[in-house]
Structure 1
């Protein structure tokens, strides 16, 4: 017969835990509409997104290759499909 493993953690044995991380995670999962970021964190993320977008645009401008959609040829295009 196998014996039960001894555990030091009482987290799963206790039914009411106030102020614990597991309780807060469960509450946060159950009430997503009551959550909001702190203004400092929101401002930090907004600045990060702005700088990331600016660096992305700069990188695109620097590394972009220009495609000539209309080549600058002096010869007029010949259309062979209208010869018939």
Structure 2
């Protein structure tokens, strides 16, 4: 006895006349409200993005700050008056 492979594909969750891709495409076209990602998946991804943003913010705040635009008293661009 063989097991069915686990899949994330929506095509396996749909019961349509045949397993042909053409029929699935037609079903998808006819039922656009059932095609999108599940609520659980979108919540999971939203949570992951929040965590990622929080970690990035932490890294930025804990990092070493450098002064990029400091007071340039030794500006060499005006010294070339030949």
**Structure-1-length-normalised TM-score:** 0.47
**Structure-2-length-normalised TM-score:** 0.47
Between the two structures, name the one with larger relative contact order (CA 8 Å, sep ≥ 6). Answer: 2
Higher helix fraction: Structure 1 or Structure 2? 2
Q: Which has the higher Rg, Structure 1 or Structure 2?
A: 1
